[in-house]
Amino acid sequence: MKDGFIKVAAATPRIRVADCGYNASEIIRLCHEAGQLGVKILVFPELCVTGYTCADLFLQDTLPDSAEAALSRILAETRRLDMLIAVGLPARYMDKLYNCAAVINRGKIQGLVAKSFLPNYGEFYEKRWFEPGPSANLVDARICGSKVPFGTDFVFPCSNVPGLCVGVEICEDLWASDPPSKRLAAMGASVILNLSASNELVGKAAYRRELVKNQSARLLAAYIYADAGEGESTTDLVFAGHDIIAENGAILAESRFKTGLTVSEIDVERLAFERRRNTTFRAGELTEPALRYGYYVMNPDFWLRESDTALTRPVGRSPFVPADPAEREERCAEIFEIQVRGLKKRMEHTGCQKLVVGVSGGLDSTLAMLVSAGALRELKLPPDGLLAVTMPCFGTTERTKSNAVLLAEKLGAELRCVDITASVRRHFEDIGHDENDRSVTYENAQARERTQVLMDIANSLNGLVVGTGDLSELALGWATYNGDHMSMYGVNAGVPKTLVRYLVGWYADTRGDGELAAVLNDILATPVSPELLPAENGEISQRTEDLVGPYELHDFFLYYFVRWGMAPKKIYRLAKYAFAGVYDDGTVLKWLKTFLSRFFSQQFKRSCLPDGPKVGSVALSPRGDWRMPSDAAVKAWLRELEETDV
């Protein structure tokens, strides 16, 4: 459970209908198999001890008796396993039969949870055999020679794993308009187990998947769904063992038409963070008055040994970029539209009809040009309402200058070249700076001169300077204060560098003609550089990623640091896992320290950002998502990494 990761599994055993002894053997076998894999929470299907399709045999005493004997055997043979196990079986209370989940830890039944909503429509006839779970106060039931808590709405907190609290619902409960899991989450359950026997129909699997995924999102919880499969009677129905593990709206693992284990890891620390930051998530409200109506939090009684959970869950290298090509294309189109609409509104509000963009032949200014051209089209203004300004100086190369000119031509923009070399040299004379001194003053003087040129041109045209800086640069402070840091509207402020590249590529593939696409593709192939130091043999001498680190790493760090509030050690662990074979551990650690140091020290630049559209879940606007003092110390965050092994 180190770093909040807990290995969990949904299990679909191969069963024989009404053969409880055989079914117990299969359940026990899978429990031990899961134990070998380090699974800590294991969920079996609804009524798996007997089989879901026993029909009127449920009313015979023989079957519930056999199920109870099988449960006693399961308890005895799993008592040494470090695991919370939920198995489904029929259980009797006060001469009535209930469809239940027995929640087990180390050979002891922690509780017996009854199904709340019994389907009695279509192919289902559960009310013929079972009673709905009691809504009265929690009671004790006798099973396997012991008194155990019996009811519906109660949760199981782990005594030694902060944030781990388990709630249980059964199959149809999830389909109900007011599912028990909603109340369980309000009582603190961060993990919902669903023991199910959902048969297959055309289209039902997709609906079931969305239901599980969306419920995990609504509850900010992990959801483990175990479905009945092979061995159930096929008299009228077929069961496919559709097992699903979801976490906060994401499917972590899924299987169908097979028996055995579906395994992944949930992150209870991540869920706890999301619940803390989400002010509409209501927890802890079911206090003393609610207890009188049957809502219970059990005394922490189950525990799990501390372990370093091996990760198998998907952790992408580019969390801002969807891996699926179709989803990525849709995402790019949506983000581009948000950028265009934001700029369009600002133009309408200010009454300006001229946009001014400083073009360098790099990715960020290219995207800003494309967005600006899109805003003009939306306003039905001529394309030459976009003024592209190139401002060559000491480090400008022919390749980037040529691409900037070609881009402006292909978009129909007005092009103006303002060589700032003489102005910068005059400025060096004014402040007494030696041009041979290539320090930060040498670089920043060029950036600030370019911003002054853009602002003054925009003033003369009653226009608006469109900012080009992206989210990754804002995170690292990789911008000259009151230079390229400033604009009148920053269209890329919410777009991380790794996504800028895909947006430009998407535009080239879907909206550019042959010549425009060729220019965009050459820009994509150009190294990222501020071009503030003189070129070497006509080539770019200053590569940003050599200086500040790989943007794919920094975007990874940014996502997990801001979106999920993860501690540095945990981010380091995930980055090593995601980038294994790409960067060695020492490289990852080096740039993570760089990211943290720069993120803290450069907050003063983010405290006075121009307006710009938010496009995703990570944003750094001081007026919206990110509030941080400019003088915060990074020491505690770096201290976590001081003793980290590489």
Please check whether residues 66 and 132 belong to one and the same domain. Answer: yes
Please check whether residues 111 and 29 belong to one and the same domain. Answer: yes
pLDDT of residue 518: 92
Please check whether residues 378 and 243 belong to one and the same domain. Answer: no
Of 207-221, 366-380, 431-445, the least confident = 431-445
Show which of 280, 297, 314 is a domain's final residue.
297
Flag whether pLDDT at 302 surpasses 90: no
Global pTM value: 0.90
Alpha carbon 457 to chain centroid distance?
42
CATH number at residue 572: 3.40.50.620
Indicate whether 313 belongs to any domain. no
Please check whether residues 584 and 441 belong to one and the same domain. Answer: yes
Of 297-306, 342-351, 387-396, the least confident = 297-306
Indicate the pLDDT class of residue 394, thresholds 50, 70 and 90. Answer: confident
Indicate whether 304 belongs to any domain. no
Please check whether residues 291 and 329 belong to one and the same domain. Answer: no
Number of domains observed in the structure of the chain = 2
Give residue 458's identity as a one-letter amino acid code: A
DSSP string over 421-470 = HHHHHHHHHHHT--TT--SHHHHHHHHHHHHHHHHHHHHHTT-EEEE---
The CA-atom distances, in angstroms, between 414 and each of 272, 369, 391, 420 are 52, 12, 14, 19
pLDDT of residue 297: 63
> Look-up: residue for tokens 């030459």?
384
Please check whether residues 355 and 439 belong to one and the same domain. Answer: yes
Flag whether pLDDT at 395 surpasses 80: no
How high is the mean pLDDT of the chain?
Answer: 92
Q: Summarize pLDDT for 570-592 with one digit per residue, the tens.
A: 999 999 999 999 999 999 999 99
Q: Sort strands 243-247 and 250-255 into parallel, antiparallel or unpaired.
A: antiparallel
Indicate whether 233 belongs to any domain. yes
Flag whether pLDDT at 396 surpasses 90: no
Indicate whether 615 belongs to any domain. yes
pLDDT of residue 289: 38
Helix (H) or strand (E) run with residue 139 in it: strand 139-143
Flag whether pLDDT at 534 surpasses 90: no
Q: Summarize pLDDT for 557-568 with one digit per residue, the tens.
A: 999 999 999 999
CATH number at residue 110: 3.60.110.10
Flag whether pLDDT at 317 surpasses 90: yes
Please check whether residues 262 and 350 belong to one and the same domain. Answer: no
Show which of 297, 315, 334 is a domain's final residue.
297
Flag whether pLDDT at 530 surpasses 70: no
Of 199-208, 299-308, 314-323, 527-536, the least confident = 527-536
Average pLDDT over residues 526-549: 63
pLDDT of residue 287: 46
How many Cα atoms within 13 Å fall on the side-chain side of residue 280?
Answer: 4
Flag whether pLDDT at 541 surpasses 60: no
Indicate whether 118 belongs to any domain. yes
Domain range spanning residue 144?
2-297
Indicate whether 302 belongs to any domain. no
The CA-atom distances, in angstroms, between 628 and each of 487, 546, 561, 611, 633 are 22, 28, 13, 17, 11
Average pLDDT over residues 45-68: 97
Flag whether pLDDT at 510 surpasses 80: yes
241 torsion bin: left (phi>0), alpha (psi -120 to 50), beta (else): left
Q: Summarize pLDDT for 5-42 with one digit per residue, the tens.
A: 999 999 999 999 999 999 999 999 999 999 999 999 99
Please check whether residues 380 and 261 belong to one and the same domain. Answer: no
Indicate whether 574 belongs to any domain. yes
Rounded Cα–Cα distance for residues 385 and 6 (Å): 56
Please check whether residues 376 and 515 belong to one and the same domain. Answer: yes
Flag whether pLDDT at 292 surpasses 50: no
Rounded Cα–Cα distance for residues 457 and 389 (Å): 9
Indicate whether 503 belongs to any domain. yes
Please check whether residues 279 and 405 belong to one and the same domain. Answer: no
Indicate the pLDDT class of residue 316, thresholds 50, 70 and 90. Answer: very high
Please check whether residues 290 and 170 belong to one and the same domain. Answer: yes
Rounded Cα–Cα distance for residues 469 and 479 (Å): 8
pLDDT of residue 646: 60
Rounded Cα–Cα distance for residues 133 and 411 (Å): 67
pLDDT of residue 212: 98
Flag whether pLDDT at 368 surpasses 60: yes
pLDDT of residue 362: 87
Q: Summarize pLDDT for 82-137 with one digit per residue, the tens.
A: 999 999 999 999 989 999 999 999 999 999 999 999 999 988 999 999 999 986 55
Please check whether residues 274 and 371 belong to one and the same domain. Answer: no
Average pLDDT over residues 614-635: 95
Residues marked as catalytic: 46, 115, 171
Closest CA to 471 of 498, 432, 433: 498
Flag whether pLDDT at 320 surpasses 50: yes
pLDDT of residue 75: 98
Q: Summarize pLDDT for 348-367 with one digit per residue, the tens.
A: 999 999 999 999 888 999 99
